[in-house]
């Protein structure tokens, strides 16, 4: 299996998941600083020029949440992604879409308008609205988590990777997280050894 990515980006969701599953994989650095995401070779893999992209034999997959779900479905014994058709899976999907559509989007609006978009496309006046939307999503997330350790209950699942990595981004983007249960959740989820291993593998790719 191959993961095309860049350290501390959405590709970390895939390397983290693979480390949770204790699977072997190759991390292929797509170096944004060298323009590699826009190279002819990489655009043939992902026409959007984004990471992650994921290769498993003949299957080429894009979209981080879909890749994480695929990996969990392939390893049902891990319990990291609940079985399709169950109430548990429906709740998994609900929070997965929440992570992608509600929690991540305002943060990414901030990121895009701070550094990712071409300079002449950036719009600073969007920041207050995006920050307000992110805070609203945090309130919903906090209510959904309640007193549970993880979003689906007592057990860690792959949707905690999507939510946890996005929260981590929130702190990197200096967005306040006021809710005590989310602060504890962030510590709990990001202290997992699998994330440390994934981050080390990604960081090593920049050195070599």
In our burial notation (b when 16+ CB lie closer than 10 A, e otherwise), range 114-139 reads eeeeeeeeeeeeeeeebbebbbebbe
Q: How many helices (H) and strands (E) does the chain have?
A: 9, 4
Candidates 52, 106, 164, 170; binder of ligand GSH (CB under 6 A) is 52
64 vs 109, beta carbon nearer ligand GSH: 64
One residue of 9, 135, 190, 205 binding ligand GSH per CB under 6 A:
9
- Measured from the CB atom, is 9 or 205 closer to ligand GSH? 9
d(CA 10, CA 17): 12
Of 3 and 51, nearer to ligand GSH (C-beta) is 51
Q: Which of 23, 49, 179, 183 binds ligand GSH (CB under 6 A)?
A: 49
Q: Is 64 in the site for ligand GSH (CB under 6 A)?
A: yes
Taking CB under 6 A as the binding criterion, the range among 16-24, 43-51, 71-79, 81-89 that sits at the site for ligand GSH is 43-51
122 or 139: CB nearest ligand GSH? 122
Q: Is 89 in the site for ligand GSH (CB under 6 A)?
A: no
Residue nearest to ligand GSH (CB): 50
Give residues 100-139 in contact with ligand GSH (rule: CB under 6 A).
116
SS3 123: coil
Whether residue 208 contacts residue 10, with contact meaning beta carbons closer than 8 Å, is answered with no
The dihedral built from the CA positions of residue 117, 119, 122 and 128, taken in this order, carries a sign that is positive
Closest to ligand GSH by CB, 32 vs 150, is: 32
Rounded-to-integer distance, Cα 123 and Cα 110, Å: 9
The arrangement of strands across the sheet holding 26-29 comes to: 26-29, 2-5, 53-56, 59-62
Interhelix angle 158-172/180-190, nearest 10 degrees: 110
Min dist. Cβ of residue 161 to ligand GSH (A): 12
Q: In the complex, which residues of this chain contact ligand GSH (CB under 6 A)?
A: 9-10, 37, 49-52, 63-64, 116
């Amino acid at each position: 299996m191959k993961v095309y990515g860049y350290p501390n980006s959405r590709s970390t969701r895939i390397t983290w998941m693979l480390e949770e599953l204790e699977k072997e994989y190759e991390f292929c650095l797509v170096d944004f600083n060298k323009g590699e995401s826009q190279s002819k070779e990489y655009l043939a893999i992902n026409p959007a020029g984004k990471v992650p992209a994921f290769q498993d034999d003949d299957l080429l997959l894009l979209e981080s949440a879909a890749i994480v779900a695929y990996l969990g479905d392939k390893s049902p014994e891990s319990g990291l992604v609940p079985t399709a058709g169950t109430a548990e899976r429906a709740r998994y999907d609900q929070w997965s879409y929440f992570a992608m559509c509600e929690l991540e989007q305002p943060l990414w609006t901030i990121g895009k308008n701070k550094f990712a978009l071409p300079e002449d496309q950036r719009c600073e006046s969007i920041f207050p609205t995006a920050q307000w939307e992110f805070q609203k999503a945090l309130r919903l997330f906090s209510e959904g988590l309640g007193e549970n350790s993880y979003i689906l209950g007592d057990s860690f699942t792959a949707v905690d990777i999507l939510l946890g990595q996005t929260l981590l981004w929130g702190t990197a983007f200096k967005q306040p997280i006021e809710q005590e249960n989310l602060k504890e959740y962030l510590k709990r989820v990001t202290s997992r050894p699998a994330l440390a291993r994934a981050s080390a593998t990604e960081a090593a790719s920049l050195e070599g």
